[in-house]
Amino acid sequence: YYRYNIEKNIEYQYKFNINGNVSNNKFFVCLMGVAKKHRLAVMSKLIEYELFPYKGYSSLFFDGYTQFDINWMKERVSEYNFNMNLIDFNKNYTVDKFLTFNVLAKNDLIPPVDILNDIYLNIVLESWSGKVGGIPTEKSFKTFYWKKLPLILGTVGLINQLKELGFEFLNIFNYTYDKKNIINDTEDQAVEFCKNLEILQNFTKSDIKNIYEKNINLIEHNYNLFMNKKMFDLVEHLFV
């Protein structure tokens, strides 16, 4: 689906041109979309660790939710692990004109070029997390196409699934959150995943740039694998 749209629509294509000059401190993007339990958990930690808005860009939407819906979501997230009071539920977090709820269905594939040219790491929060069944969506594959360092949270086993397809991941992160024999539920997984955000709070933009440059072979490998039409014809046959 994502490969097809990239090939057929010029506006969805991203010409790699990272320069890191738009901001002094921001080194990641985390485009979450509509609010869900795992996304609320991660957003609270991004704010707690002062990663957002100081060191990165993020989006999170509450359009369509009543106050009852919001309260119900907040109650499903343990206050012991995540501070929901850090999140402003009265506004949408957006990063540019494309990433707003009202046009998301049409334009969520359009790359936020200025932001992508400024950052080195893409923190991906898939549509689902925990132990429900799932496959990687365009959210995961965007990070490979955009040539960014990947940090992906999806259903348990998703990282292993992507590794089996040939994609490579950084060894600076802990992937315990992807292990089926350790993770019990969505919150368990979010707690483990957010330990990586705790690591990131100690990094500067210069640090992430150095990690990016040292892992350029990994980035190019993931990009080339994503652009390999034969491989994705096989994936489509297996999953669709």
Handedness of CA 42, 134, 232, 164 (dihedral sign): positive
Structure tokens at 3: 């490969």
Return all residues near 160 (Cβ < 8 A) that are at least 6 apart.
178
pTM comes to 0.90
Condensed to tens digits (0 to 9), the pLDDT of residues 28-73 reads 999 988 899 999 999 999 999 999 999 999 999 887 788 898 899 8
Q: What is the DSSP letter of 111?
A: -
Structure tokens at 185: 């539920």
34, 41, 179 from 189: Cα distances, Å: 19, 10, 9
pLDDT at position 18 over 90: no
